[in-house]
Amino acid sequence: MDIIQLSPGDLSELLESDHSVFLLDVREEEEFDFCKIIGSVNIPLINLVQNLQKIDQDKLVVTICHHGHRSLKAAMTLKDLGFSDVRNLKGGIDAWSTNIDPEVKRY
């Protein structure tokens, strides 16, 4: 199953448009507390399946992690569980910080 990969620029354009987006950050809580994309919701990957009710299925769900690997796994899990519109932030929050918002701390 192929998951659409969004570049940081693609995500930035989506967030600036009227498109309804649910930003799902699947990093651990400590990572999320250190830096995040404003408006994102933190559900660590290990807790994802138990917290599906917290995800707004009426919106495009964009999964986020540090470099894009855990979030890709999360996106595939959501697709397998019936979520229809799921995409992954390629390069994760690190790429977001490098390319879009240098105010987001890197680690």
Annotated catalytic sites, by residue? 65
Count CA atoms closer than 13 A to 45's CA, side-chain side.
16
Phi-psi region of 68 (alpha: psi -120 to 50; beta: other; left: phi over 0): left
pLDDT digits (tens, 9 = 90+) for 24-34: 999 999 999 99
| Contacts with 81 (C-beta within 8 Å, 6 or more apart), sequence order | 49, 52
pLDDT of residue 1: 63
3 with 51: CB under 8 angstroms? no
The pTM of this model reads 0.96
pLDDT digits (tens, 9 = 90+) for 58-106: 999 999 999 999 999 999 999 999 999 999 999 999 999 999 999 999 9
Please count the residues of the chain. Answer: 107
